[in-house]
Amino acid sequence: MQVTFHLPKVLASLAGSAQVQARGATLQEAVEELTVRFPRLAGRLTGPTGEPHEYLLFYLNDEDIRFLEGFDTPLRDGDEITVVSAVAGG
């Protein structure tokens, strides 16, 4: 599946752009594929055991992935993944 990531400013510079394409059957795979292509993102999207980074929130289209299956959520072609800092709001 081909999907689009929208990255926060603090990560965009590491990927060269705020919008990047990636491939994967699940969110986990897409995140892994992204970090292979942009090694400076390694450890900045995921935590020590490959889980979503504790200071980030991931949305698949408009849904917080914690309401779905987290990184195991299957992807469809054209999905939009928005990544934002968890240190915001309130």
Binding site for other proteins (CB under 8 A): 6, 8-10, 12, 18, 44, 53, 55-57, 59, 62, 64, 66-67, 82, 84-90
C-alpha torsion 54→3→72→88, nearest 10: 20
Complex with other proteins: residue 1 or 59, whichever CB lies closer: 59
Distance (Å, whole) CA 49 – CA 27: 15
Shortest gap between Cβ of 16 and other proteins (angstroms)?
Answer: 16
* Closer residue to other proteins in complex, CB, 62/77: 62
